[in-house]
Amino acid sequence: MYYNNRDVRLEEMPRPKIGPGELLVRIRASGICGTDVMEWYRVHKAPLVLGHEIAGEIADVGEGVERYRVGDRVFVSHHVPCNRCRYCLGGHHSVCDTLRQTRFEPGGFAEYIRVPRINVGLGTFLLPAEMSFEEGSFIEPLGCVVRGQRWAKLQPGQSVLVIGSGISGLLHVQLARARGASLVVATDVSDYRLGMAKRLGADCSLHASEDVPARLKRINEGRLADLVVVCAGTMPAVQQAVQCVERGGTLLFFAPTAAGVEAPIPLFDFWRNEVTIATSYAASPDEIREAIELIRTRQVRVQEMITHRLGLAETGLGFQLVARAGDSLKVIIEPHR
């Protein structure tokens, strides 16, 4: 039960009861997301059970469910779009009203969750036999990355700069490499994370305190980056990103700033240089399916990104590890370990 980043308690609650068309899922792996530790985003809703990067096995099946059976290994989307409204039909699934109102109960940092009927029909996916539960917990974050690069229209042969080498940044590094980027450069303030970026496919990793635009030009034949992905929600990251995008390039704001923060944009320069600004949030069902295939085929390697595996009673420690962003990457909670 989340109260704030320093107060995450182990509490007893009834096992969820399911109704017709619903599923009871036994959580086997639940990743702590960077958004879970954004207090400005979470704390006003406390106390609540967080956790949306989950994989598990079906423990019970409600009346009328025919596609799934007890024992099936699944990933379940926390939020699902209706696939029928004007936003969904226009490709903007993540701003669908239904998506913003749906969720499983109580949250992924629990032993069991109840999957409502709509999530069963639109957001439950079988895990491939060759995919572990731990790998399955990466499906949701990778789906979000797939969406981000789709909106940014990354093309083979383009250069990519990823600002911030946490989980999202490292997934962007790997996906850009899989998509045929000619050059992938990563930045961070952590030497540990910069090393992981190189290990996972970055051609070069730069400390954020360096003159990144100048280094980019030396590395990239005098040019800046065709795509700059902002995976750190800080003003210095935003300011650096603005300085690093090439003429005709795209700036993708993947990580949010705190609500209410305004970032100055050099509109004249962007207008003159035809720079595109893109944003993305969440993932559609098609992007979830693509993420599953990318993990299954090991085009994106996620197992080596796991640094900590903790039991349910250690979730508070996990939140502290993620909030500190030190020598940790993916922290996975295993409620039944």
The pLDDT tens digits for 76-92 are 999 999 999 999 999 99
Q: Summarize the confidence of residues 191-212 as an average pLDDT.
A: 97
Q: Which residues contact 176 (CB under 8 A, 6 or more apart)?
A: 149, 154, 160, 162, 184, 227, 229
Read off the pLDDT band of 325 (50, 70, 90).
confident
- The confidence score (pLDDT) of residue 337 equals 86
Tell me what the mean pLDDT of segment 197-222 comes to. Answer: 97
Question: What is the pLDDT of the chain when averaged over all its residues?
Answer: 96
Of the pLDDT bands very low, low, confident and very high (cuts 50, 70, 90), residue 51 is very high
Reported residue count of the chain is 337
What residues does 228 pair with on adjacent strands? 161, 251
Q: How confident is the model at residue 252 (pLDDT cuts 50, 70, 90)?
A: very high
How would residue 327 be classed by pLDDT, with cut points 50, 70 and 90?
Answer: confident
Continuous segment of H or E residues that includes residue 289: helix 285-296
10 Å Cβ neighbour count for 330? 24
Tokens of 330: 């993916």
User: Which single residue is written with the structure tokens 């720079």?
Assistant: 275
Please state which of the ranges 7-16, 170-179, 252-261 shows the lowest mean pLDDT: 252-261
Percent of the chain beyond pLDDT 90?
Answer: 92
Task: Please tell me the number of Cα atoms within 13 Å of 92 on its side-chain side.
Answer: 9
| pLDDT at site 259 | 86
Model pLDDT, residue 326: 80
Q: How far apart are CA 28 and CA 55, in angstroms?
A: 6
Could you report the per-residue pLDDT of 253-267, keeping only the tens digit for each? 999 888 888 988 999
Distance CA 94, CA 332 (A): 25
C-alpha to C-alpha distance for 31 and 107, rounded to whole angstroms: 11
* CA 214 to each of CA 67, 193, 220, 225, 249: distance values in angstroms, whole numbers, following the listed order: 55, 21, 10, 11, 17
Alpha helices in 153-262 (DSSP H): 167-178, 191-199, 212-219, 235-244
Tell the burial category of 143 from Cβ atoms under 10 Å away from its Cβ (0-12, 13-18, 19+). buried
What's the pLDDT at 215? 97
Structure tokens at 2: 């989340």
**Dihedral sign (CA 331, 333, 34, 85):** positive
Question: Strands 53-61 and 73-76: what pairing?
Answer: antiparallel
pLDDT of residue 41: 86
Range of lowest pLDDT (135-139, 321-325, 328-332)? 321-325
| Averaged pLDDT, 192-210 | 97
User: Which tens digit of pLDDT belongs to each residue from 129-140?
Assistant: 999 999 999 999
Average pLDDT over residues 52-63: 98
Give me the domains of the chain, ranges plus CATH numbers.
2-138+302-333 (3.90.180.10), 143-279 (3.40.50.720)
pLDDT at 160 over 90: yes
Q: Cβ contacts of residue 207 below 8 Å, gap of 6+?
A: 187, 188, 189, 191, 194
pLDDT in tens, 278-313: 999 999 999 999 999 999 999 999 999 999 999 999
In this predicted structure, the answer to whether residue 12 has a pLDDT above a threshold of 90 is yes
User: Residue 277 is inside which H or E element, if any?
Assistant: strand 276-279
Mean pLDDT of 108-126: 98
